[in-house]
Structure 1
Amino acid sequence: MAIAVVAGGGAVTTMLVGLVTNAVSNQAHWPGFLGWVQRHAWASFALLGVVTVGFTALLAALSETRSSAPDTVPPRQEGGSEPPGAALVLRSLPRDISAFTDRTAELERLVGSVRTCQENGEALPVHVIDGMPGVGKTSFAVHAGHVLSGRFPDGQLFVNLNGHTTGRNPVQATEALASLLAATGVPAQQIPVGDDAGAVTEARAAMWRGQLADKRALLILDNAASYRQLEPLLPGDGGCLVLVTSRKRLAAHEEVVLQVEALSPEHAVALFVRLSGRSRDALDPAVLDELVRLCGCLPLGVSLLAARLRHHPTWSVADLLERLVAVRDRLGELRAGDRAIVSTFDLSYRDLPPERRYFFQLLGCYPGTDIDAYAGAAVGSTTVDDARRHLDALYDAHLIDEHPGSRYRLHDLLRDYARRLADEGDSMNHVQAVGRVCAYYLSALTAVNTHIARGSAQVANSPVPQEPMSTPPLDSRSAALGWLENERPNVLACIKRANELDLHGLVIRLAAAMAPFLRQSGPWDQAVGLHRAAAEAARRTGDRRALAGALAELGVVRRCMAAYPEAVEALHEAEVLYEAVGDRKGRADALNQAGIVRYMTADNEAAVRAQSEALSIYRELGDRLGQANALADLGMVRRQMSRFDEAVEAQSEALSIYRELHDRYGEANSLRDLGIVHCLMGEYDRAARRHREAFDIYQELDDRHHQAYALNELGLVRRLVGDVAGSHDAHTQALEIYTDLGDRFGRANSVRHLGALHRVSGRAPEAIRLLEQALETYRELGARGGIAATLSELGSARGATGEREAAVEAFARSLEIHRELGDRCGEAEVLNNWGALLRVSDEVTAARDRFQLALGLAAAIRCPLEEARALEGIGRCDRSLGGSRGGEGPLRQAIAVYRSLGAGTAAADIERLLAVQPG
C-alpha cells in the first residue's frame, strides 16, 4: 500500500512538473482547475516543491525499511566444514518437448486458472505438479511454461532443486536464492551473506521478493523435496506464476494441485508411434498395447522403447517386446518401484555399443548438475570429440536430456540407473571418475586464474592425477568469468563429492583454485564453507602447509565480509603454521593480509608491525610483487597515521615496482592512495590527477569496486576546491556502485562524504540523517576510523542545528578515537570543528585554545588545509576579542595558505572581513 502511495505521488509530481513548465512557457491554455496552475505559476512551483520533498522523504524511509534486513544478519557460532552446494538456475525455460502428448485436460486447467486470476486481478496461487517418477512432470511444466510465457513478459526462470537426485542432497533454500538472485542480475557481492543460515535465508528471501515486486514472471521449481525447501523461494507478489514439480504431495498454502498421471493406453500408443518413425498400420496393435502396458504408460519409458525401435529398422514390435520381457527382472526395482521402467532402461542401454555403455555408466558418477563435452571427456577418460559424439548419441537414444549451451543432463531415474550399473562394476571406477573430473576442473581453473588472479593463484602441493586434460578456450577475462559463473555449481558439487570420497588433496587444490573467483565474486559465505572444508581436509591428511593456505584464504574472505576478529584469528593461525613448516613466503602473505585487517580497524601500530615484517621477508626472498604489495599497504597505514612523507615514499616505491612488473591493478591502487595523501597535503591538482589516472585503469580492468573507491576520493577533492556539483556527482556514482556490490564499508564512506557535502552546503538536517546512517554501519563493522571521521562531521552538523550538547559530545568522542589511532590530521580537523562551534557560541577564549592546538598539530604534520582553518579561527577570535583590527596577522597567513590550496572562496571571505574598517 505504501509503495502504491509513493508511486501515485510520483505520478502527481510528474504531472505538476509538466503543468508548471507549461504554465511558465505560456504556450497553451489549460481548461478548468488547471487554468489556476497557469495563472499562478510561482505558487505552482511551491506546491511542486512540497510534493516532491514529501514523497522523497517517504520513499527514502521505505527504502531504509526494505534494505535493513540484509545489513543486520547476526553472527552464529562456527559451523561444520562441509563444502557448499549450488543450484543450477536457467535464465530461460529449457527446450520444449517436440513429442509432448496429451495432457490436454491438465493444460486447460492450468491455463484457465492463470487466465481467471489475471483477468480478475487476483493473486496467482502456487501450482504444484506431482506424480510418480517418469510420468512427465518436468516435461509438462516446461511445455506449460512455453504456452504461458507470453503472459509473463518479465522473464522465465527454471530451477532444479535436486529433491530426488541420486548422489546429491536437495539444494538448500539459501543456495537456491543466491542462484536466483544472480540469475536476475543481482551482483554476487550484493547478495546477503553471514554465518547464521536462517538469517541469511530470510535476508535473501526478502531481496528475492523485492526483485519480483510488481513483476509478471514465471518460475518453475523443479524436483522439490518439501514445501519447507521451496517456501523461501516463493515470490511475495501475486503477479508471478510458480509451477512446482515434486514426487511428493506438498502441503502448500493456497496451492492448486495438478496431478499428472500416466498416459492413457491410447495416448501412450500414439506417443510410441510418433517417436518410432513407423507407420501405425505396420505395427501390431496387440503388441503395441502390451509394450506400453509394460512401461506403465509412462512417457519416459515409452520414449526410450520407441527410440530403440527407430534405431533398429529391421526389428518388428514383436522383436522389441521379446527383448523387453527377457531382461525385465535383470536389475530389480529402483526406488521408483516400477520394474518395467528399469527393463526399458536396460533395453536401451544394451542397444548401445560397448564403449558408449561404459561412458553412460560413468555419467552416473558425475557429481555435477549438467555436463558439457569437456567435463564428459574427463569423466569418461576419452577425448573431447569422442565425448561430444557419445553425448549426442545418448541424447538421440533419449538417455540424456539437452540443456542450453551444448550441455546435457540425466533424468533422475536414469542417473539412478547409470549409478547402479557403475556400482556393479569395479568399485574404483566411481572414485577414479570423480578424480578425473576434479582434475579437469583444476586444469580449467588454472587457465581461468591467469585472467582473474593477480600474480598466480597459490595452489597447495597435493598430488593429482597426472593426465593431460583438454579445457575450453578461455582467452579473455570475460570468457573466464563467464565460464566460472556457468560451472560454479558443478565445481562445488565435485568438491563436495571429492570430500565425501576422502579425496582430500583434490578438495584442497580445488578450493585454492576457486579462491580468487569467490574472493571477488562471492557469495562470501559460500567461500567460507569451501575454505573450511579445505582446512578440514588438510587437518585429516596432516598437511600443515595446505592447512595454512586454507586458513589464509578463509581470513581474506572474512575480511571481505567485515568479520574482522574472525579474519585476524584465521590469519594468525595461518602465519604460525607457515612458520612451522618453513614457508616464508606464505608467512609473509599471511602477515600482509593481517596488516590489512589491522588497517581496516585502524589498529595502526599492529598494522605497521605486520606490514614491515612482511616487507622484510619479501625483500630477503627477492619477491618483487610481495614487496610492492607490502609497501603499498604500509603506505596506507602511514597515511592513516598522518605520516605523509613516509606514506608518499612507501607508495611511490610500490608504484615503481608495479610499473616494472606491468601490474596495472597494483599501479592503480598506488596512484589512488598517492592521490589521498596529496589531498591531505593540500596538493589538490596533483591529487585529482592521481585519482583520475587510477579510475581510468580500474575502468580498463572492469573493477567496479575500486572505481567507486577512486570516485569517492575524487569527490572529496572536488568538495575541497569548491566544486559542489562535481563532488555530489562523484559520491553519488560511488554510492550506486557500492550498493550494487553490497560493500557496506564502501557504501558507508560514500554516505559520509555526501553528509559532509550537505553540511558545508548549509543543509544540516539532511547531513545529520546521512551521517547517522554511516555511523551505524561503521559501528556494526567496528571501523573506528570511520566512526571518528563521522562523529567530527556530525558534531559540526548538530552545532548548526543548535544541538550544542550533542555536538560537544560527538567532538569529544571523535577526538578521543583520533588520538587513540594516532591520526593527527583527523585530530586537528576535530579541534578546528570544535573551535568553530565555540566561537559562534561566544566562548571565544575556549575556541581560540582549540584553534591553537589544531595549528600546532597541522603545522607539525604538514596538513595545510587544517593549518589554514586554525589560522583563520585564531584570527577571527582575536578580532572578536581585540576589535576590528585584531587578528590581522593570522588572517593574512590563512589567506596565503588558502590561495596556495586553490581555496579561493575561503580566502575571499577573509578578505571581505579585513576590508571592514572601524567605525
Structure 2
Amino acid sequence: MSPGTPVTVESFLRKLWDGSPPNKARDLVHQSISRLRKPLKGVEEGVRIERSSGGYVLETDRRNIDYHRFRSLHTRARAVTDAGEAVRMYKEAAGLWRGEPLAGLSGAWVTSTRRKLEEELLRAAADRIGLEIAQGVTADLLAELDDLVNRFPLDEKLIELLMLALYSGGRRVDAIGAFRRARDRLATEVGTEPGPTLQTLFQRILQGDRALLPAEPRPTVRKSPNNLPRDTPTFTGRAAELGPMMVAQARDDVVTVIAIDGMPGVGKTALAVHLAHQLAGDHPDGLLFLDLHAHDARRERMDPATALDRLLRDLGVSPIPEGLEERTTAWRTQLAHRRMLIVLDDAAGHDQIRPLLPGVPGCLVLITSRKRLAGLDGVRSLSLDALPPEDAVTLFTRIVEPQRAGRAEDVATVVRLCGYLPLAIALVGNRYRHRPAWTVADLVELLERTDRLLGEIWAEDRRVSAAFELSFRDLDAYQRQAFRRLGLHPGVDLTPPSAAALLGSSRAEAEKILDALLDHHLIMEPRRGRYTFHSLLREYAVGLSDRAPEAETTATIRRALDHFLYTADAADRMLYPFRGRAPLGIPSSLGARPSIRSPAEAHAWLDAELENLLLVARYAADNGWWQHAATLAHVLSRHLYLWAHWAAATRLHTRAVTMWREMGDRPAMARALADLTAVRRRTGHYEEALRSAAEALEIQRAARDDRVVADLLDEHGLVHGFRSELDVAFGYHQQALELRQRDGDRHGEAGTLNYLAKIDFERGDYAKAAERLDTALALYHEVGDPRGEQMTLNNTAHLDERRGDYTAALRHYEEAESVDPMVSPPNRATLLNNVAEIYQRLDRHAEALEQYRRALTAYHDIGDRQSEARVLNNIGTCLAHIGKEREALINYQKALHIAVEISARGDEVQALRNIGVVHHRAKRYEIARSYYEKALEHAQAIGDIYQEARTLDDLGVTLARVGEHAKAEASFRQALDYYEQLNVPEADTLRRRLDPRSDVAES
C-alpha cells in the first residue's frame, strides 16, 4: 500500500490482530516476510523488502504495484478528453483487480481498508459506465449494471446509471420501474426518499426528455485541475522528512494538514512540490498550488479572501462569492466530495491559512512557511533544516553532472560555503555548469574570496544574495539590464509582451531574454507563456534596480504602465465599441500600439491579465503615476461592471475620483464619478449613487458634454427606478432621451428607451412599453450591438410574460441567449430568473425552483441585492404553490428584509403581499389583512397599479373569509378595473370569481 514507507512490527501486530496478537506473533511476522522475499528476488528488478529500524520497508517504484497502477490509470482516465481512450484506461485499470482485496485476512484495519479499496473500484466502474452509456447502450453494459445494482441496491449513483442506460436504450418503462423499485427499497430499508438528482432524472424520463439521449458518441471527461509546478529533476535527499509525511497523508478519517517551516532557501517549496508529485495518484480529483506571498517585496500578502478567489477559480467556480465567509463555504463545499492535494506556499500565519483548510476528510494540504504555524490545531509540523552534508554534495554533483564534479573535498567545501542551503547550491552549481573552463577548485577560490558575503547566508535574508550575485554576474550586460528591469514589473507575472514593454524591446527579443533567464533559474514559468520571480529573487532584482539610474527606472516603469493602459484600452474598444469613453490623454512611450484582433481575444486578455491590471493601477496610484492609475480605472470600468468585479471597481473608481480631484481635472473627475455611480447603483448603495451622480451631473452640465450628461441623467433615473420612484425616474430618462435624439446618439437612445419601457411596464402601460422596446431593438440592430439586442429581447420577453403570452416569452428569452454568446454573470442570472418565471407560470415548479436557486446563488455571489430580493420572492411563491408554506414564508421574509434595507419599494410591496397570502392560507386572516393593507399603501405610493391590483384581489379574498362581503366585492371590483386597464390574464380569473353562476365564485 505504501512503498518506501517503513512499517514497524508493532504496526503489523496492531493491524493484523487488532492489538491482541497471539503468542510468538513477532516470529510469525518475521517468518512471513522471509517467505515473501524469496519469490520477489526474480520477479521484478528493483523490488525488494529491506529491514528498517523496528520494521520493514518495500523498496520499489509505485508503478510495479497493481494498486498504484490502478489509481494512476483512474486519474489519467478522468483527465483525458477522448471518451474511447478513457474507457480503455478504465478497463485496463479494472483488469488489475484479482478477487477480493486482502483475501484471507480479517480484523478492523483489514475490513476498513478492504471497504476503501472496493469503493475506489466501484467509483471507477461508475465513471466508465457513464462514458459507455453516452457511446451506446449494450446488453453487456445493462447486465453489468443490473449486477452492480443488485450488489449495492442503495447506491443512488448506480441506480441513476441504470435508469439512464435503460432510457437511452429505448426502455423507458423499465427505467421508470427501476426508479420505483429503488424508491420503495430506500423507504423500506433506510426510511428516506431518493435524492434530488434521482428525482430530477425520474421527472425528465417521465417527460420523455430527449436531452438525456446521447446526441453523438463524443462525451467529454471532466478534467481534474492541476497547476503544480514541475518537480525539480535534481531533487535530493529528504528521506527522513518524506517518510513520516507519506504515512501521515494515508489517513482517510481526518483532514491531513502538513506544515513545512524553515528558513528562506532551505527547500520548503521544492519538498512540498516533490511530495505532491509522489502522491498525485492518491488524489485523483486535482492538484492545486497557490503562492500566498507572505514574503514578496512587490506584492501584498495574499489575504484569505483573495486566496479563496484564486482557488475557486482554479476549480472553475464562477461567479466567485463576495465575502470571506461565503467564499470559505463555497471552497469547503467544492472539496466535500473530492480527494485533492493542495499546496499552500509561503504562508504568513495561521489566520491566513485557517479559512483555506477543507472542512471534511479526504484532502491533503501541504503548507510552507517561514514561521512555525503553532496556531493551527491538528496540524503535523515539520521544521526543515539545511541538507545533511552528504545530500548537499549529491545535489551539487547532480546539478553540475558527475564528470565535472572534480575532487570530493572541493565539492564539500563549495556546499559548506553555501551553508548547505539548496537554493544557494543550485545557483552556484548552475553558474559553474555554464563555465566549462572552470574547475571546482576555481569556484572554491572565488567563493572563499567572498566569504564575508556567503557568511551572511547564516545571518539574515541577504545571505542568499551572495548566491544570487554569482548567478547575476554570469549574465551578459544586456541580460543583466533585462533582469534588473523585469524586477520593476508591478504585477504578479510577466508575459512576453509585458516583458518587451519593460525592456523596451521587440517581443522576439523579450522571448529570448526570458528563455535565457529561465535557463539560469532566475525566473520560473509556472504556466506556459507566463513568467514569475521567486519572491527572494524578486527582492534581489529590486535591490539591483535601486542602484540603476533614476531616468532608466522611470522610463522602464512608464513603458510598463503604458503597455497595460494601451492594451486594456484596445481590448475595451474591441469588446465594448459603443460605450462612452474619454480619450486616454497620455502619450504612449511604446514603439507600436498593442493589437487586439477579435472580441474573443480581447475578453481572454482582460480575463488573464485582470489581476495584473488591478495591481498596476494600485502601484500607479501609490507611486505618483496618478494619471495612469485614474485613466486605467476608466478604461476598465465597463468590463469590471459587466463581469461583476464590483468590489475591485469600487476601489478603483473611488481612488480615481480622489486623484482627479487632487489634479484639478473636473471633467475627468466627473467621468470617474459616473463610473462609480454605476457600481454603487448595481450593488444597492442608492444614496451614495445619487450623491456621486449629482456631483458629476453638475460638472458635466457646466462643461456642456451632452453625451455624459445623458448618461448621468439615465443613472439618476435608474436609481430612482430601483427605488420605485417612477415619476422621478421617468423625468430623468425623458431628459436623457431628448438629449440623445438631439445629438443623433442612436445607441444611447436605444438604451434610454429600454429604461423608459421598464417604467411603462411598472405603470401598466404595456402597449407603450412594447412600442419603445420595438424601437430600441431596431436601433440596436441598426448600429450592430448584440448586447443591446440581448437586453431588449430579455425585456420584451418579460413583457410577454406579464401579458400571459408564455410561448412568446420563452421564444424571446431563447433569442436573447443566442444573440450574444458572451453572456456576463449578471445577465446570465437574469436569464435564469426570467425563464424560471415562465416555468412557474406553466406549473413546472421543480424546473422553476432549480432555475431560481441558480439565479439566487449567482445574484448573491455578485452582490446584486435588489435582484436577490426579487428572486427570493419568486422562490417563495413557487414553494407556496407546491404546499411548502413555511419555507415560502422564510423566503418572503428574507426578500422583505433586503428590500427594506436597500429601499427597493416595489420588491417590498411584493414581499408584503406574499406574506399576507401565506397567513391567509393558514387562516390567520387579521394578520394577512394587515400585510395586505401595508402592501396596498406602498403600491399606491409608488404608482404600481399591477401590484395594487394583485393586492386588492388578495385582500378581497380575505375580507370575504371574515364575512365583510361588501368590502370584499368593492376590493374585487377595483382590482378588476385595474386588470382590465392592464389587459392581463388575471382579469379573466377575477371575472369568473365575481360571476355568481361560476364554480370559482362558489369556491
Q: Please indicate, yes or no, whether the TM-score normalized by the shorter chain is above 0.5.
A: yes
Confirm or deny that 1:97 pairs with 2:232. yes
The 1:395/1:50 distance shift into structure 2, 3 A limit, reads closer
Q: How does 1:776-787 map to 2 (within 5 A)?
A: 776-787=897-908
Structure-1 residue corresponding to 2:207: none
Query: Which of the residues 303, 312, 321 maps onto 1:191?
Result: 321
Q: How does 1:132-147 map to 2 (within 5 A)?
A: 132-147=263-278
| Amino acid corresponding to residue 240 of structure 2 in structure 1 | A
Measured after TM superposition, the shift of residue 685 of structure 1 is: 5.1
Measured after TM superposition, the shift of residue 562 of structure 1 is: 2.3
CA distance in structure 2 between the partners assigned to 1:302 and 1:43 by the alignment: 65
Structure-1 residue corresponding to 2:392: 268
Residues 296-351 of structure 1, C-alpha deviations (whole Å, 9 max, x = no match) = 12112211222122212122223333344455668996997266633322222122
Structure-2 residue corresponding to 1:554: 676
Partner SS for 2:934: helix
Partner SS for 2:371: coil
Q: How does 1:384-463 map to 2 (within 5 A)?
A: 384-453=507-576, 455-456=578-579, 458-459=581-582, 461-463=584-586
After superposition, the CA RMSD in angstroms is 3.6
Query: Which of the residues 598, 606, 624 maps onto 1:484?
Result: 606
Aligned 8 A contact 1:708 1:733 in 2? no
Confirm or deny that 1:148 pairs with 2:148. no
Aligned 8 A contact 1:403 1:409 in 2? yes
| Amino acid corresponding to residue 668 of structure 1 in structure 2 | Q
Confirm or deny that 1:849 pairs with 2:970. yes
The 1:365/1:331 distance shift into structure 2, 3 A limit, reads farther
CA distance in structure 1 between the partners assigned to 2:635 and 2:625 by the alignment: 16
Range 387-396 or range 847-856, more displaced: 847-856
CA distance in structure 2 between the partners assigned to 1:527 and 1:236 by the alignment: 32
Confirm or deny that 1:732 pairs with 2:855. no
Confirm or deny that 1:690 pairs with 2:690. no
Structure-1 residue corresponding to 2:362: 239
Q: How does 1:759-798 map to 2 (within 5 A)?
A: 759=880, 764=885, 767-798=888-919
TM-score (norm 1): 0.81
Query: Which of the residues 324, 336, 346 maps onto 1:201?
Result: 324
The 1:813/1:15 distance shift into structure 2, 3 A limit, reads same
Aligned 8 A contact 2:154 2:182 in 1? no
Measured after TM superposition, the shift of residue 757 of structure 1 is: 4.2
Aligned 8 A contact 1:449 1:457 in 2? no
| Amino acid corresponding to residue 230 of structure 2 in structure 1 | R
Aligned 8 A contact 1:799 1:807 in 2? yes
Partner SS for 2:642: helix
Measured after TM superposition, the shift of residue 513 of structure 1 is: 2.3
Q: How does 1:136-535 map to 2 (within 5 A)?
A: 136-188=267-319, 190-192=320-322, 200-253=323-376, 254-279=378-403, 283-326=406-449, 337=460, 341-453=464-576, 455-456=578-579, 458-459=581-582, 461-469=584-592, 471=594, 475-477=598-600, 479-535=601-657
Confirm or deny that 1:111 pairs with 2:232. no
The 1:334/1:391 distance shift into structure 2, 3 A limit, reads farther
Structure-2 residue corresponding to 1:900: none
Partner SS for 1:799: helix
CA distance in structure 1 between the partners assigned to 2:302 and 2:743 by the alignment: 46
CA distance in structure 1 between the partners assigned to 2:153 and 2:570 by the alignment: 56
| Amino acid corresponding to residue 431 of structure 1 in structure 2 | T
Residues 364-401 of structure 1, C-alpha deviations (whole Å, 9 max, x = no match) = 21122221211111111111111111111111112122
Structure-1 residue corresponding to 2:927: 806
Query: Which of the residues 536, 545, 558 maps onto 2:667?
Result: 545
The 1:578/1:327 distance shift into structure 2, 3 A limit, reads farther
Aligned 8 A contact 1:835 1:847 in 2? yes
CA distance in structure 2 between the partners assigned to 1:41 and 1:241 by the alignment: 39
| Amino acid corresponding to residue 808 of structure 1 in structure 2 | R
Measured after TM superposition, the shift of residue 234 of structure 1 is: 2.4
Aligned 8 A contact 1:364 1:415 in 2? yes
TM-score (norm 2): 0.74
Q: How does 1:563-602 map to 2 (within 5 A)?
A: 563-602=685-724
The 1:338/1:268 distance shift into structure 2, 3 A limit, reads farther
Structure-2 residue corresponding to 1:872: 992
Measured after TM superposition, the shift of residue 801 of structure 1 is: 2.5
Query: Which of the residues 938, 949, 965 maps onto 1:828?
Result: 949
Partner SS for 1:463: coil
Aligned 8 A contact 2:674 2:692 in 1? yes
Aligned 8 A contact 1:324 1:347 in 2? no
| Amino acid corresponding to residue 383 of structure 2 in structure 1 | Q
| Amino acid corresponding to residue 862 of structure 1 in structure 2 | L
Aligned 8 A contact 1:327 1:347 in 2? no
CA distance in structure 1 between the partners assigned to 2:853 and 2:249 by the alignment: 41
Higher relative contact order structure (alpha carbons within 8 Å, sequence separation ≥ 6): 1
- Runs of 5+ in structure 1 lacking a partner? 1-10, 26-36, 60-89, 193-199, 885-890, 892-908, 915-919
| Amino acid corresponding to residue 844 of structure 1 in structure 2 | H
Partner SS for 1:314: coil
The 1:473/1:148 distance shift into structure 2, 3 A limit, reads farther
CA distance in structure 2 between the partners assigned to 1:793 and 1:338 by the alignment: 65
Measured after TM superposition, the shift of residue 423 of structure 1 is: 0.9
Measured after TM superposition, the shift of residue 503 of structure 1 is: 0.2
CA distance in structure 1 between the partners assigned to 2:831 and 2:304 by the alignment: 37
CA distance in structure 2 between the partners assigned to 1:422 and 1:319 by the alignment: 30
The 1:365/1:794 distance shift into structure 2, 3 A limit, reads same
Partner SS for 1:127: strand
The 1:755/1:255 distance shift into structure 2, 3 A limit, reads closer
CA distance in structure 2 between the partners assigned to 1:730 and 1:690 by the alignment: 18
Measured after TM superposition, the shift of residue 766 of structure 1 is: 5.3
Query: Which of the residues 127, 130, 140 maps onto 2:258?
Result: 127
CA distance in structure 1 between the partners assigned to 2:186 and 2:243 by the alignment: 56
CA distance in structure 2 between the partners assigned to 1:416 and 1:713 by the alignment: 52
Range 425-434 or range 295-304, more displaced: 425-434
Measured after TM superposition, the shift of residue 854 of structure 1 is: 1.7
The 1:838/1:873 distance shift into structure 2, 3 A limit, reads farther
| Amino acid corresponding to residue 142 of structure 1 in structure 2 | V
Aligned 8 A contact 1:369 1:489 in 2? yes
| Amino acid corresponding to residue 365 of structure 2 in structure 1 | V
CA distance in structure 1 between the partners assigned to 2:614 and 2:754 by the alignment: 34
Aligned 8 A contact 2:757 2:769 in 1? yes
